[in-house]
Amino acid sequence: MLASLRRHSAAGSMRLAALLPLLCALLLCTALPGLHVGASAQPQQHAFLPASLAAPLTADDAPHGAGANLLDLLSASRNHTLFVRMLQRTRLVPTINRLMLLDDGSGLTIFAPTDAAVLRQRDAERELRMRAAQGAAFRDDDGFEMRSPAWPYPRQARSVWEWAVELAAQPEMAPAEAAALSVPVWTDARREEQWHTLDNVHALLRTQLLYHMLNYTLPYDVLALGAGGRPLPPVGHADMLTTLHRPSRRTLHTPTRPGPVPPPPSSPPHPGAEEDEGGLLGGHGQRLRLAQREQKDGAPQVWIGTDSRGQGGAQAVRFDTSSHSGTLVWLDGVLSLPPDLETVLQTHPALGHLANLSSASLLSTLCETAHTTFFLPEAGAFDALSSLERSFLRGPWELAVQDRVKLIGWHMSGLGVGEGRIGYAERLREAGVNITTTLGGEVPVSTLDNGTVVINHSRIVEEDILVENGVVHIVSDLLLPGGSFGMTIEKTLLALNASRFVALMHSAGLSAYIDEDPRDPDHDATNASWTFMVPRDDVLDEWLAQQDAQRAYHANTWRLPGIDALDKSGPLNGTRLLELMRYHVAPSKLTPAKLSDGMLIETELRDAKLKDARQRLAVAVAERKGSESAHQGNGDVAFGDANVIAEPVEVGGSVIYLISQLLSPPLNPIQTAVSSLSLSTFVATVFSAELDKAIKSAPGISYLVPHNDAFEALGLAMPYLLLPREESRAELRSVVEYHALDRIVYLADFAKGSTRYPTLEGSSIWAGRSENGTIEVRRGLEGRNARVLRGDLLTSTGVLHEIDQVELPPTLDLTSDKLMRGAKAGTMRSLIMASGYGWILNGTAPDSPEKAAQLESAISVRGEKGNHGRRGQKKRHRKRDNLFADGHQSYIILCPTDAAFAHVNLSYYLNSPDALNELVQLHILPSPADETLAGGTALRLPLALRDAGSFASLLDRSLGGLSRFGRISFRRDKKGVRRGDEGEPGSGDDDDAPLAGWLVGIEGTRGTDGKRHSARVLGFGRESLSISRDDAVRATGEGWTLRKSGHRLPTPIEGDDAWNSRSVGGILTIDAVLQPYVPSWFYRWGWIVLVVLMVLVILTGMGYALWRWWHADGRIRLPDALEGEED
pLDDT tens readout for residues 214-260: 998 888 875 544 445 678 888 878 889 999 988 876 544 333 333 33
Q: How many CB atoms lie within 10 A of CB 564?
A: 15
CA distances from residue 554 to 422, 549, 562, 572, 800 in whole angstroms, order as listed:
68, 9, 6, 16, 31
Confidence of residue 657 (pLDDT cuts 50, 70, 90): very high
Distance CA 517, CA 615 (A): 27
The per-residue pLDDT of the chain, averaged, comes to 76
Highest mean pLDDT (candidates 498-512, 781-795, 847-861) = 498-512
Q: What is the pLDDT of residues 1097-1113, one digit of tens each?
A: 998 888 888 888 777 65
Mean pLDDT of 1051-1057: 37
Residues 109 and 235 in one domain: yes
The answer as to whether 189 is a domain residue is: yes
Same structural domain for residues 185 and 230? yes
Q: Is residue 1061 part of a domain?
A: yes
89-98, 326-335, 568-577: which has the minimum mean pLDDT?
568-577
Contact 516, 528 (CB under 8 A): yes
Highest mean pLDDT, choosing among 653-667, 853-867, 1070-1084, 1098-1112 = 653-667
Tell whether the model's pLDDT for residue 338 goes beyond 50: yes
Instruction: Check residue 654 and give its pLDDT.
Output: 92
Q: How many domains would you assign to the chain?
A: 6
The closest of 454, 448, 498, 497 to 479, measured between CA atoms, is 454
For residues 339-355, average pLDDT? 88
Residues 1045-1053, mean pLDDT to the nearest whole number = 39
Tell me which of 280, 302, 331 is where a domain ends.
331
Instruction: Report how far residue 192's alpha carbon sits from residue 186's, in angstroms, rounded to the nearest whole number.
Output: 6
User: For 693, how many CA atoms within 13 A lie in the half-sphere containing its CB?
Assistant: 1
Which of 334, 296, 326 is CA-nearest to residue 112? 334
Q: Would you state the pLDDT for residue 1007?
A: 58
Give the amino acid at 749: D
| CA dist list (Å): 963 to 858, 1003, 1076 | 20, 11, 8
Res. 430: pLDDT tops 90: no
Lowest mean pLDDT among 104-118, 296-310, 685-699, 898-912: 296-310
Tell me how far apart the alpha carbons of residues 889 and 887 are, in angstroms, rounded to a whole number: 6
pLDDT confidence tier of residue 796, bands split at 50, 70 and 90 = very high
What pLDDT, on the 0 to 100 scale, is given for residue 736? 95
Other residues' Cβ atoms within 10 Å of the Cβ of residue 351: 21
Would you list the DSSP string of 515-570?
Answer: ---TT-TT-TTTT--EEEEEE-HHHHHHHHHHHHHHHHHHHHHS--SSGGGT-TT-
Q: Please state the rounded mean pLDDT for residues 932-959.
A: 79
Q: Please give the angle made by the CA atoms of 930, 825 and 732, to the nearest 5 degrees.
A: 80
pLDDT at res. 369: 86
Contact 882, 849 (CB under 8 A): yes
If asked whether residues 605 and 697 sit together in one domain, one would say: no
pLDDT at 120: 92
> What sections of 134-265 are H helices per DSSP?
160-169, 175-181, 198-210
> Vertex 37, ends 31 and 39: CA angle to 5°?
65
- Report, as an integer, the average pLDDT of 628-645: 78
Task: Quote helix, strand, coil % in the chain, to nearest 5.
Answer: 35, 20, 45
Residue 181 clears pLDDT 80, i.e. is over it: no
Structure letter (DSSP) for residue 275: G
Name the least confident of 163-167, 199-203, 279-283, 312-316. Answer: 199-203
- Quote the Cα angle for 784-787-793, to 5°: 150
* Angstrom distance (rounded) from CA 825 to CA 819: 9
Looking at the structure, do residues 476 and 506 belong to the same domain, yes or no?
Answer: no
Is pLDDT above 50 for 355? yes
* 493 and 471 part of one domain: no
Q: Looking at per-residue confidence, does 572 or 483 come out higher? A: 483
**Residue 303 or 984, more confident:** 303
Residue 196 reports pLDDT greater than 50: no
| Domain membership flag for residue 664 | no
Q: What is the pLDDT of residue 696?
A: 92
Q: Quote the DSSP letter at residue 135.
A: S
Q: How far apart are CA 580 and CA 664, in angstroms?
A: 6
Which pLDDT belongs to residue 623? 76
pLDDT of residue 719: 92
Q: How far is CA 1081 from the centre of its chain?
A: 87
Overall pTM surpassing 0.75 (yes/no): no
Same domain, 457 and 543: no
Q: Which of 200, 295, 282 is nearest to 249 (CA)?
A: 282
Residues 6+ apart with CB under 8 A from 123: none
pLDDT recorded at residue 128 = 78
Q: What is the pLDDT of residue 614?
A: 94
Using the predicted structure, report yes or no on whether residue 861 has a pLDDT greater than 80. Answer: no
What pLDDT, on the 0 to 100 scale, is given for residue 1085? 67
Using CA of residue 133, residue 135, residue 141, residue 145, what is the dihedral sign? positive
To 10 degrees, the CA torsion angle through 1024, 1028, 1034, 1036?
30
Mean pLDDT of all residues in 944-950: 84
Q: Is residue 810 part of a domain?
A: no
**Long-range pairs for 54-61 at CB < 8 Å and ≥24 separation?**
54/115, 54/116, 54/119, 55/79, 55/115, 55/116, 56/116, 57/114, 57/116, 57/317, 57/318, 57/330
- Per-residue pLDDT, 1082: 66
Q: What pLDDT is attached to residue 211?
A: 92
Q: Which residue has the higher pLDDT, 1122 or 575?
A: 575
> Average of pLDDT values for 544-555?
70
Please tell me the least confidently modeled range out of 34-48, 49-63, 348-362, 628-642. Answer: 34-48
- Residue 440 CA to residue 95 CA, distance in Å, equals 41
Last residue of a domain, one of 437, 453, 481: 481
Angstrom distance (rounded) from CA 52 to CA 69: 25
- Position 1125 in a domain: no
Does 388 share its domain with 255?
no
Same domain, residue pair 182 and 242? yes
pLDDT of residue 745: 95
Are 1070 and 1093 within one domain?
A: no
More confident call, 194 vs 130: 130
**pLDDT over 90 at 1046, yes or no:** no
pLDDT in tens, 28-87: 333 333 333 333 333 333 332 333 333 344 444 444 555 688 888 999 999 999 999 989
- What is the distance between the alpha carbons of residues 320 and 110, in angstroms, rounded to a whole number? 10
The pLDDT of residue 703 is: 96
**pLDDT at residue 19, as a whole number:** 38
**Domain-terminating residue out of 303, 331, 359:** 331
Asked if 610 and 559 sit in the same domain, the reply is yes
Give 813 or 574, the one with higher predicted confidence.
813
Top-confidence range, 539-553, 846-860, 987-1001, 1047-1061: 539-553
Distance of alpha carbon 207 from alpha carbon 201, whole angstroms: 10
Q: How far is Cα 505 from Cα 1124, in angstroms, rounded to an integer? A: 127
Residues sharing a CB contact under 8 Å with residue 95, sequence separation 6 or more, in sequence order? 26, 271
Q: For residues 184 and 175, give the distance between their C-alpha atoms in angstroms, rounded to a whole number.
A: 17
pLDDT at 270 over 50: no
Least confident of 100-114, 450-464, 667-681, 998-1012: 998-1012
Quickly state the pLDDT bin for 575 (edges 50, 70, 90).
Answer: confident
**Percent residues over pLDDT 70 in the chain:** 70
Instruction: State the residue range of the domain holding 1092.
Output: 1085-1116
Which of 146-150, 639-643, 985-989 ranks highest by mean pLDDT? Answer: 639-643
Give, for 604, the enclosing helix (H) or strand (E): strand 600-607
What pLDDT score was predicted for residue 114? 94
Residue 313 has pLDDT above 70, yes or no: yes
3-state per-residue secondary structure call for 856-878 = HHHHHHHHHHHHCCCCCCCCCCH
Residue 687 lies in a domain: yes
* Cα 1054 from Cα 382, distance rounded (Å): 64
**Listed range (129-138, 893-902, 1076-1085) with the worst mean pLDDT:** 129-138
More confident residue, 1116 or 769: 769
| In a shared domain, residues 593 and 679 | no
623 vs 743, more confident: 743
Q: Can you give the pLDDT at residue 142?
A: 43
Percent of the chain beyond pLDDT 90? 28
Q: Between 511 and 928, where is the model more confident?
A: 511
639 near 533, Cβ under 8 Å? Answer: yes
Pick the range with the lowest mean pLDDT from 22-31, 472-481, 757-766.
Answer: 22-31
DSSP codes joined into one string, 822-835:
HTT-HHHHHHHHHH
CB of 538 closer than 8 Å to CB of 546: no
Poorest-pLDDT segment among 110-124, 193-207, 637-651, 956-970: 193-207
Q: CA 483, CA 458: separation in Å to the nearest integer?
A: 11
All residues at 6 or more sequence positions from 72 whose CB lies less than 8 Å from its CB, including other chains: 34, 37, 39, 40, 62, 323
- What's the pLDDT score for residue 89? 85
CATH number at residue 445: 2.30.180.10
Mean pLDDT over 183-199 rounds to 41
Evaluate if residue 289 carries a pLDDT over 60.
Answer: yes
Residue 1121 lies in a domain: no
Beta bridge partners of 110: 213, 328
pLDDT of residue 560: 40
Given pLDDT bands bounded at 50, 70 and 90, which one contains residue 875? Answer: low
Pairing of strands 654-659, 530-535: parallel
**Is-cis flag, bond preceding 268, omega within 30?**
yes
Say what the alpha-carbon torsion angle 1023, 1026, 1031, 1035 is, to the nearest 10 degrees.
30
Answer whether 73's CB lies under 8 Å from 178's CB: no
Q: What is the pLDDT of residues 130-159, one digit of tens each?
A: 776 665 444 444 444 444 444 444 444 567
Query: Residue 1059: which pLDDT band, with cuts at 50, 70 and 90?
Result: very low
Strands 891-896 and 1066-1070: parallel
Q: Which long-range contacts (CB under 8 A, 24 or more apart) does 691-699 make?
A: 691/733, 691/736, 691/737, 695/668, 695/669, 695/670, 695/736, 695/740, 696/668, 696/669, 696/670, 696/797, 697/609, 697/668, 697/797, 698/740, 698/760, 698/797, 699/608, 699/609, 699/610, 699/611, 699/797, 699/798
Spatial separation of the C-alpha atoms in residues 392 and 24, rounded to whole Å: 59
Least confident residue range of 361-370, 759-768, 780-789, 1047-1056: 1047-1056
Residue 510 has pLDDT above 60, yes or no: yes
For residue 846, what pLDDT is reported? 78
pLDDT of residue 419: 79
Contact 961, 967 (CB under 8 A): no
Closest CA to 113 of 73, 82, 157: 82
**CA 471 remoteness from chain centre:** 46
Mean pLDDT of the 21-33 span? 36
Question: What end-to-end distance do the CA atoms of the chain give, in Å?
Answer: 162
For residue 665, being part of any structural domain is answered with: no
User: Which of 716, 718, 909 has its CA nearest to residue 827?
Assistant: 909
Coil vs helix vs strand at 320: strand
Give the DSSP H or E segment for 932.
strand 932-934
* Residues 894 and 1036 occupy one common structural domain: yes
